[in-house]
Structures are given as structure tokens and as C-alpha cells.
């Protein structure tokens, strides 16, 4: 979709080697109800497999070192898929989670070894604070490494520039991208400029 292409381009322009898997086989339903039906019928295990295969694909590119640390970034449903991918495999060296709407079972989080950076808006009704608190309590119980950033007044999907952003949404977008890029550079390369999320 348009947002997926746009955000992939944003990461590439920041110096990252990027890949955005098509988890819905090219389907782009029109309207909210068909889109929700498509989202809710997604084969989660297959999607996690596709995300994990993406790490292998990136490492096989001639301009990426075969032992490169790869990060995974996910938004909304994709945030939950990123968490599942991090918990089920060791394919990723860092994870960035934006306002995930899929909250994995707590035991799925136990296998996460990579550090996480998680972004949430304080006005997000799709990812309520109670869910975020339960999620971070689970991370604490399993002694996971993570950072959480809350953005005052930002709602769900604040990274999507096509949502006619309010000043709070725009501020959240800019600040979260700055944090994300710095986090990935540090976690994947120790601060070097060219990395692979």
C-alpha cells in the first residue's frame, strides 16, 4: 500500500537497506470493512515466516554482509508480527514497534533477545495504555531490554503522513523517526550510518 512504500522509502533515504514484505499477496481492499476482514483473516504463522525470510533475503543481497545484524520494524498489526518474529527466531538484532494492535501471548515474548524500541501515542484508542502497561510488565517479568516512548496527543497511525496530521501527530512522527534511526544505528552497527532494518 501507499504508506508501506512511503515509509520504506523514508528508511532508505535515511541510509538503511530496506525490505517491506507484501503480507497480503498484493490485495488492497477498498473501504474500512473489507480492509478489517483482510487483516483479521491473515495467516499469522505464514506472515511471521515471511517477515523472518526477509532477514535472510537481505543478508543474501550482494551489498549486505552475510552476517549483518538486521532489524525489524512494524506498525499496528505489523508491530505484533515483528514481536512474534523476534520471539520465535534469532533472525533480528533489534526491533522497533509502533503502536502494535496485535498483542502476542505473554509466552511468545519470552524468546525475544533483541532490544526493543516501542512508540505509542497518548491519544491512541486502538492501542490503549492498559494494554501497553500489561505488555511492558511482561517484558519486565522476562527481563527484556526495551525503551518506550509516548507522544502526547498523538493517536494511532501517527507515522502515516496521509492522515492529515495534527501538530501532535506531526511532532510524534518526526521525534519517533529520529529516535528510531538512532536506535537502529546503535543496536545494529554501534552507530555507523549504513544498516539493515
The pLDDT of residue 164 is 72
pLDDT digits (tens, 9 = 90+) for 149-182: 999 999 999 998 776 779 999 999 999 999 999 9
pLDDT tens for each residue of 53-106: 999 999 999 999 988 999 999 999 899 999 999 999 999 999 999 999 888 899
Of 162, 165, 79, 178, the closest CA to residue 120 belongs to: 79
How far apart (Å, rounded) are the C-alpha atoms in residues 47 and 61? Answer: 21
Tell me the C-alpha distance between 14 and 180, whole Å. Answer: 11
Confidence of residue 196 (pLDDT cuts 50, 70, 90): low
- Residue 77 has a CB neighbour count (10 Å cut-off) of 17
Instruction: Name residues whose C-beta falls within 8 Å of residue 10's C-beta, 6 or more positions apart in sequence.
Output: 177
Query: What distance in Å separates the CA atoms of residue 55 and residue 67, rounded to the nearest whole number?
Result: 11
Q: Is the dihedral of CA 106, 111, 116, 119 positive or negative?
A: negative
pLDDT top residue among 114 and 32: 114
Q: Is the pLDDT of residue 192 over 70?
A: no
pLDDT of residue 197: 55
CA distance 92 to 87: 10
Residue 195, pLDDT score: 53
Q: pLDDT tier at 1 (50, 70, 90 boundaries)?
A: confident
C-alpha cell at 131: 494494554
Rounded Cα distance between 74 and 123, Å, is 19
List residues bridging with 118 in a β-sheet: 97, 148
pLDDT of residue 181: 98
Q: Residue 146 half-sphere exposure, CB side, CA atoms within 13 Å?
A: 25
pLDDT of residue 46: 92
Handedness of CA 129, 131, 133, 135 (dihedral sign): negative
Q: How far apart are CA 137 and CA 92, in angstroms?
A: 22
Residues facing residue 175 across a β-bridge: none
- Give residue 4's pLDDT: 85
Structural domains for the chain: 2-189 (3.40.50.1820)
pLDDT 10s digits, 34-48:
666 776 777 899 999
Amino acid at each position: 500500500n501507499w504508506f508501506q512504500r512511503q515509509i520504506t522509502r523514508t528508511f532508505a533515504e535515511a541510509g538503511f537497506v530496506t525490505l517491506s514484505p507484501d503480507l497480503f499477496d498484493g490485495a488492497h481492499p477498498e473501504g474500512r470493512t473489507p480492509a478489517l476482514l483482510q487483516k483479521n483473516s491473515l495467516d499469522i504463522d505464514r506472515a511471521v515466516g515471511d517477515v523472518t525470510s526477509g532477514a535472510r533475503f537481505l543478508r543474501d543481497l550482494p551489498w549486505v554482509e552475510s552476517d549483518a545484524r538486521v532489524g525489524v520494524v512494524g506498525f499496528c498489526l505489523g508491530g505484533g508480527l515483528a514481536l512474534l518474529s523476534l520471539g520465535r527466531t534469532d533472525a533480528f538484532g533489534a526491533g522497533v514497534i509502533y503502536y502494535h494492535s496485535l498483542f502476542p501471548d505473554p509466552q511468545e515474548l519470552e524468546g525475544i533477545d533483541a532490544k526493543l524500541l516501542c512508540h505509542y501515542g497518548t491519544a491512541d484508542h486502538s492501542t490503549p495504555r492498559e494494554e501497553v502497561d500489561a505488555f511492558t510488565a511482561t517484558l519486565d517479568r522476562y527481563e527484556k531490554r526495551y525503551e518506550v516512548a509516548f507522544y502526547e496527543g498523538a493517536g494511532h497511525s501517527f507515522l502515516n503522513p496521509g492522515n492529515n496530521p495534527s501538530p501532535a501527530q506531526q511532532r510524534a512522527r518526526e521525534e519517533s523517526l529520529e529516535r528510531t534511526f538512532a536506535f537502529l544505528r546503535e543496536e545494529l552497527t554501534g552507530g555507523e550510518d549504513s544498516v539493515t532494518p
